[in-house]
Amino acid sequence: MYQKSDYIGVFDSGLGGISVLRHLKKILPEERYLYYGDSANAPYGKRTTQEVIQLTLAAVEKMDVARLKALVIACNTATAAAVGLLRQKYKDLIVVGIEPAIKPALDRFPHGTVGIMATEVTLREEKLDSLLHRIVVDATVCKIPAPGLVELVESGRLDTEEMRQLLRGILQPYADKLDALVLGCTHYPLVADEISRILGKQVLLFDGGEGTARETRRRLELAGLLHEGHGEILWENSSQKEAFLELSQKLLNQR
């Protein structure tokens, strides 16, 4: 029997957090997940920080934390803007955020050129600069915004010519320059294959999903809260459109 507070809540502004849920499911297959996407309000990435904070707090309230034993903020934008406030507000809950995987990328290429592709909010928030300042390397770091990309993913236009054109426009200027690209928004790993095709296999892609899943497991283990039994996923979305449920399941199962 499941206890009332036995879910791991996974939150994103929309469908991007599914790229994190894939890692969670892989390393914690027996857990019960509640995935909440705020697709009605996505994208968060070009809003003001204050708006992102308000939307994140409201969405987490809708998830009903009484049902949760842990909350994974599977959104770099919401983590950058609101993870501190969430930890203050929900002191008894395990709250795990996601950060762009800059450290592993710079550890691998300390003298190289590393791109960080992320939303406008993530790129301008203090959290990113303090992360960069903590890592002392003489690598060149390029911040790469990707306007329009989240919208295409949210509307299911992943494997389309429109997507390829948009990605080419964003990434081709960097094609011969980068050693690595950090996918600093959870929507981007959902089109990682297309990104690799444009940049070439020699450019390594890094994303924070796996590290976030491992950190979630570590925190649950430490608290003695790991669950053994049948895993399941409960899908909730602020958009009432049926298509989101279908697309969510498709994205989760896609290789």
Using CB under 6 A, list all residues that contact ligand DGL: 12-14, 16, 42-45, 75-77, 119, 122, 150, 185-187
Shortest distance in whole angstroms from residue 59 CB to ligand DGL: 11
Which residues are paired to 32 by β-bridges? 7, 232
Maximum distance among all Cα pairs of the chain, rounded to whole angstroms: 55
Beta carbon nearer to ligand DGL, 7 or 119: 119
What is the total residue count of the chain? 255
CB 42 within 8 A of CB 10: no
CB of 31 to ligand DGL, least distance (A): 21
Give the residue with the Cβ less far from ligand DGL, 76 or 237: 76
Neighbour tally for 103: CB within 10 Å: 18
**Pair 28, 8: CB distance under 8 Å:** yes
Nearer to ligand DGL, 112 or 209 (CB): 209
Q: Which residue is nearest to ligand DGL (CB)?
A: 45
From the list 52, 72, 75, 114, the catalytic residue is 75
Nearest distance in Å: CB 40, ligand DGL:
11
Task: Point out the catalytic residue in the list 86, 185, 247, 251.
Answer: 185
Whether 75 is catalytic: yes
User: What gap in Å lies between CA 96 and CA 68, rounded to an integer?
Assistant: 13
Per the annotation, the verdict on 142 as an active-site residue is no
Residue 128 CB, nearest approach to ligand DGL (Å)? 11
Does residue 213 contact residue 74 with C-beta atoms inside 8 Å? no
Rounded distance between C-alpha atoms, residue 248 and residue 250, angstroms: 5
Nearest residue to 49 via CA among 102, 120, 151: 120
Task: Tell me which residues are annotated as active site.
Answer: 75, 185
